[in-house]
Amino acid sequence: MSSLGSASKLALSKAEWERNDNRTNYKRQNTRHVLKMKKNLEQIAKEYGRFSPPGIRFVYEGLSYAAKTVTVEPKHVTGQALCEGLRKLALEKWGRMAMVVLNTWGIKTTRDFGEIVYLMIKHEWMSAQPADSIDDFNDVYDFKTVFKDQFEF
């Protein structure tokens, strides 16, 4: 009887071991899967090469800013509403230097905001609705006009 009890304990511990091993393998596989799917913003900027990491982070930050301050539908921010939110946020942060800061990061037009948005959509940092288009970001406003000519102290 004692040998049967030992075998039962051995079988149980083997089952526990296999269950724990399966959990570890599952965690390892899921971690690898997540790391493959989603790059950080610095990696995205480096891979794309056109915009600097702070510029990409600014557009990402601007999405929640626009959702809170510009749009009436916080679940969806249109390209035009995002551009307006980014304009306000840039002026709030840097004032008259906003255009210089954005230009330094490679952002010179509202279309550039759209390029960054669609880059983040591609890397699953943002999402789009079927009716959304990168063309929604075309010529929403002119940087010189809104950041210099219309700037008020």
* Same domain (yes/no): 23, 92: no
14 Cβ contact partners less than 8 Å away, ≥ 6 residues apart? none
* Same domain (yes/no): 65, 5: no
* Same domain (yes/no): 109, 143: yes
Question: What is the spatial distance between Cα 40 and Cα 123, in angstroms, rounded to a whole number?
Answer: 9
* Same domain (yes/no): 20, 48: no
Give which of 116, 112, 66 is closest to 87, Cα–Cα: 66
Phi (first) and psi of residue 29, to 5 degrees:
-65, -45
- For every residue of 115-132, DSSP letters joined together read HHHHHHHHTTSS---TT-
Please tell me the total count of domains within the chain. 2
* Same domain (yes/no): 94, 142: yes
* Same domain (yes/no): 4, 69: no
Across all residues in the chain, what is the average pLDDT? 83
Range of the domain at 2: 1-37
- pTM greater than the 0.75 cutoff: no
* Same domain (yes/no): 106, 131: yes
Question: pLDDT, tens digit, for every residue of 68-120?
Answer: 888 777 688 999 999 999 999 999 999 999 999 999 999 999 999 999 999 99
